[in-house]
Structure formats: structure tokens, C-alpha cells
Amino acid sequence: MIVCHCEVVSDRDIRAAVDGSAHTLAQVCRSTGAGTDCGGCVFGVRAVIESYTRQDHVTLHQPLEETDAATQPPRRRVA
């Protein structure tokens, strides 16, 4: 799914950046180009990162935890 329409960045691009060398939200945005035009997608980018890394809250310069999604137990969503 496209997360950043200005730069046409998908959720796959964001996950690839996290798997690569991007270790913060800011680095993911710089690496993919997401959030660098209008900035309206930054919250969506953050949501993809949080879901993918199974972190509850990611800030702009907070390093992402090293997690292996395959070994993590499934998380329950609270409505």
C-alpha cells in the first residue's frame, strides 16, 4: 500500500529501509523520501514502523529496537 503519495513510497519500501540501514524514523524518511514533501504521511510511516518492529511508540530520533518479527508472539490489539 502507498503510504506517501507525494514520493510514492509503499509500506514495503519502509520495511526495506528498516531492514537496511535506517535506525530511526528520521532515517527511514530520508532513506525512502517519505515525509520530505508535505509531511502528511509521517504518522502513517511511523505506524508502519511500529507495526513492523512491534514497538509501541517511535519518535523521530529514537533508535529502533532490533527485533525479529518471526520470533515475537502475536500482539493483541486493544480497541
Separation of alpha carbons 13 and 2, rounded Å: 9
Per-residue pLDDT tens digits for 1-40: 999 999 999 999 999 999 998 988 999 999 999 999 999 9
**Which domains are delineated in the chain?**
2-69 (1.10.10.1100)
- 48, pLDDT greater than 80: yes
Task: Please report the pLDDT score of residue 71 as a whole number.
Answer: 45
Task: Please report the pLDDT score of residue 70 as a whole number.
Answer: 44
- 55 band by pLDDT with thresholds 50, 70 and 90: confident
pTM, to two decimals: 0.74
- 65 band by pLDDT with thresholds 50, 70 and 90: low
Amino acid (1-letter code) at residue 62: Q
Residues 6+ apart with CB under 8 A from 49: 14, 18, 25, 28, 55, 58, 64
